[in-house]
Structure 1
Amino acid sequence: MKIILSGYMGSGKTAVGTLLAKKMSFRFLDLDHEISRREGRSISEIFKSSGEIYFRRKETEILKDLLNSPEDFVLALGGGTPCYGKNVELLKQDPGSTLIYLKASLMELKERLFKERDKRPLIAHLDSPEALEDFIRKHLFERTFYYNQSDQIIGTDGKTAEAVAEEVLKCLN
C-alpha cells in the first residue's frame, strides 16, 4: 500500500505524512528530499544549475521508481508534482496507491506560510501578506484541477496534523 499526499506547500503533507507513517508502521518519504538525495544537491541548486525542465523530468523518473517499489510507504509529493507531465495519471493508475489531497484554504495557507517564508526559497522574496496571497491564489487557480483528481480530499483548516492523520486513517479503512 502506498499513501500519496498531495497539496499546496504549507498544507501539512510532511507533518501529516510523518505521523501517518508512524501510525501505520510505514516508511515516510518526501519526494523533494528523495530527489535531492539521489541528485546529491538541493532542489534550489537543481533549479539554478539544471533548470525546471530537468527537475521535472527527475521528479517523474523518481516518482515512477517509487511507485514500482514493492515497499509500503507514505509519500509527500512536492506541491507542483501532480501538475506536470502525466504525473497525476501515473498516481491514479497505480493500483496500490491512494492519492489524498490535503486541502487548505487560501487564507490558511497565507497565515501558515508567511511565518515560515524564509525557509521556503519559492516565497522568501515575498515581503507582504498581500504579495504572498496573490502568489498562492495564482498557483491554486492553476493547480486545483490536478489536486481535485485525488481519491480523497481532506480539509486541513484549523486542524492539527494529528487530527488530519486520524482522518486519513479513517478514509483508508
Structure 2
Amino acid sequence: MIFLIGYMGCGKSAVGKVLAKHLNKKFIDFDDYLEAKEGAIIKDIFKNKGEIYFRKAESVHLQSLIEENKDAVIALGGGTPCYGNNMQQINEASSKTFYLNVNVPNLTERLEKEKSHRPVIAHLSKEELMEFIGKHLFERNPFYQQSAFTINANTKTVQEIVLEIEELL
C-alpha cells in the first residue's frame, strides 16, 4: 500500500493515477471512496452534518479502506492525516507514505486556477487564499512530516514526481 499525502492542489490524485498505472496497482482517491461510502459529496457532508461528523466518518472509512486494500496507491484528502489517530493508522498500515510538499506561493497559484471547483476556497481573494493556505500548512505540517518520504513537488511534473517515488520504492 502506498499513501500520497499533502495539501489540496499538491498533485496527489494526478500523481497517484500515473504511479498506480506504472506499478500496475489499483488507484484509490480517498475523497471518492469516502463519498461512495457516505452516499454524499464531501461539501454536502460538511454542510449538512458538520466537520466533526465528517472527521469521525473519515477515520472510520480510512480504517475500512486500509483493511480492504492491501496493494493500492491511495491519494488521501488534504486533512485526512491531521485528525484523530489517522496518521498513526496510515504509518502502521504502510511504510510507503509520501508527502508531496508544495510551498504556499505555488499552492496559491495552482488553487487560484481551481477555485470554482473547490467550495472551501471559492470565495477567497488571492491574498486571503495565500493566508488560508499558510495557516493550514503551519497546522498540518507536523502530521505531513510523519510521512516516510517527503517529495519537493514545487516545480516538478507529475512524471518527474512518479519517477522519484519509484526510485525511493
Q: Which amino acid aligns with 1:40?
A: G
The C-alpha deviation readout for 1:10-68, integer Å capped at 9, x for no partner, is 00000000000000111111111111011111101111111111111111111111111
Mapped to 2, the partners of 1:171 and 1:50 lie a distance apart of: 40
Mapped to 2, the partners of 1:129 and 1:154 lie a distance apart of: 26
Partner of 1:167: 164
Tell whether the 8 Å contact from 1:27 to 1:74 is kept in structure 2 after alignment: yes
Partner of 1:99: 97
| 1:5 matches 2:21 | no
| 1:89 matches 2:84 | no
Tell whether the 8 Å contact from 2:5 to 2:81 is kept in structure 1 after alignment: yes
Partner of 1:33: 32
Shift of 1:88: 0.7
Mapped to 2, the partners of 1:143 and 1:45 lie a distance apart of: 23
Shift of 1:6: 0.4
The farther-off stretch of 159-168 and 66-75 is: 66-75
Shift of 1:97: 4.6
* Alignment length (residue pairs): 169
Find runs of 4+ consecutive structure 1 residues off by over 4 angstroms: none
Partner of 1:113: 111
Structure 2: state its 5+ residue gaps.
Answer: none
Tell whether the 8 Å contact from 2:95 to 2:148 is kept in structure 1 after alignment: no
Task: Report the identity percentage.
Answer: 47
Q: Which amino acid aligns with 1:118?
A: S
Alignment of 1:66-81 (within 5 A): 66-81=65-80
Alignment of 1:13-52 (within 5 A): 13-52=12-51
The C-alpha deviation readout for 1:113-161, integer Å capped at 9, x for no partner, is 10111111111111x2111100000000100010001000001011111
Q: Which amino acid aligns with 1:139?
A: H
Structure 1: state its 5+ residue gaps.
Answer: none
Mapped to 1, the partners of 2:64 and 2:50 lie a distance apart of: 21
Mapped to 2, the partners of 1:49 and 1:116 lie a distance apart of: 24
Q: Which amino acid aligns with 1:83?
A: C
Mapped to 1, the partners of 2:52 and 2:99 lie a distance apart of: 24
In structure 2, relative to structure 1, the CA distance for the partners of 1:22 and 1:138 (3 Å cut) is same
Q: Which amino acid aligns with 1:111?
A: E
Q: Which amino acid aligns with 1:117?
A: K
Match of 1:146 among 139, 143, 146: 143
The farther-off stretch of 53-62 and 14-23 is: 53-62
Mapped to 1, the partners of 2:69 and 2:149 lie a distance apart of: 23
Mapped to 1, the partners of 2:158 and 2:119 lie a distance apart of: 23
Corresponding residue SS for 1:19? helix
Match of 1:158 among 155, 159, 162: 155
